[in-house]
Structure 1
């Protein structure tokens, strides 16, 4: 191999360093976008506060109580008024962020909006319908679900705006990150397996964690759904391992057109964060149900809810693993 070819291959395979300034410049659109989203959010809330129809909150969400929605008992008028106020405040904060003003307060508001819109507003229906998409089923799509997705978009925009405004330049902690990034990545991959193993077992007719007659009652035609749900978890575990493997940074040679090229950081980070959000949304509701006694488990039926208790720690571990991957890619030579 000639020296020219070796240099070309090295440039293709080796991740480049992205500085903090480059990241902030690339996300300069985020604050204006978050501001525009806030205007739409506020106007929607004002419409509902004034008695407009179509609110997916409280009485407008018939399934809210069944799925552990934190907004099940809110009333349309007050909820709409809060949305209108947050929308107005969000628009003002977005303007301040574009003018380099009130850094501390703007970051607190941005991260608070991010957590509230991504974790507090959505519930288990987001992950439920994501799984159903792989089966071609959209029968549960409705106004409340669309509102949750709208809020998730807003939360992502506020997260991007906060990330672009944060202090700190280039990360010099690449070696430090590798030390804790690898074990937390393995932990995230392991936590993906309990739910997947239980569902795959059910698809194979093995009543793991459920009474012997459970699979015989209404489960005859459900093996495909169980196999898909279990398979998604196994695939998720494998993709998680990619965060610490070479093929997570450089596409394998056997992939057409992309083989040997550098994996864009966003291509790994964005899906992982989306998966983390869904897991945290659903997992936090399961823990809430356990604490409030809405669900109970026995030695005979632990498989119904027990494996799902890994969702919340899985989601949190995946966030940490994704962050470690991002820092390592930034600080790589």
Structure 2
């Protein structure tokens, strides 16, 4: 019975097993699904007219810490969406060099899968609830402003399911059962 040889050593430019184009596109789509709402919040922050009544801007931009909430929420949201790329890139499989004692070692599958799976559930719930409340909010907004809010927030509904699909692919790709030449299970 022929046996398959273990794959070559993992380079910084190569994942342990090939990543199909659909998985790369799904991971990249998480960034695109979350970006419109983040950009919308930044536009609110800098005072771009988005069809909202002045009272709506005032309620979002509370003096003091309130001015930090919108950019922090947007930055955290995009950072978390960016981490989805780690599920299809080499840096999601090997600890980076700047982490002492872990550098160069394989990232345990569950160390990536568990947070990603929890994130997929959270993003699905967050996206659905946020879109629901945004679409049903009693805001003073013009017709084009309402269209713009919908266009910016409805894509967030796709974030959680996209993350879930990429997470399942990562898990299946990393747990095929073969071992690397250095003895690490892949």
* TM over 0.5, shorter chain: yes
The whole-number CA distance in structure 2 between the counterparts of 1:226 and 1:196 is 8
Shift of 1:218: 5.5
Q: Confirm or deny that 1:228 pairs with 2:72.
A: yes
Q: How does 1:63-78 map to 2 (within 5 A)?
A: none
Number of equivalences: 162
The whole-number CA distance in structure 1 between the counterparts of 2:60 and 2:171 is 44
Q: Is the 8 A contact 1:210 1:302 kept in 2?
A: no
Q: Is the 8 A contact 1:269 1:326 kept in 2?
A: yes
The whole-number CA distance in structure 2 between the counterparts of 1:284 and 1:225 is 21
Counterpart selection for 1:254 from 90, 93, 98: 98
More helix by share: 1
Counterpart for residue 307 of structure 1: 152
Greater Rg by CA: 1
Gaps of 5+ in 1: 1-9, 17-173
Q: How does 1:133-282 map to 2 (within 5 A)?
A: 178-203=20-45, 205-207=46-48, 209-211=50-52, 213=54, 214-217=56-59, 219-221=61-63, 222-282=66-126
- Normalising by the residue count of structure 1, what TM-score does the alignment of the two structures yield? 0.42
Gaps of 5+ in 2: 1-8, 181-186
Cα distance, 1:254–1:289 mapped onto 2, change above 3 Å: closer
Q: Is the 8 A contact 1:202 1:215 kept in 2?
A: yes
Shift of 1:321: 0.9
Cα distance, 1:233–1:242 mapped onto 2, change above 3 Å: same
Cα distance, 1:283–1:208 mapped onto 2, change above 3 Å: farther
Q: Is the 8 A contact 1:192 1:236 kept in 2?
A: no
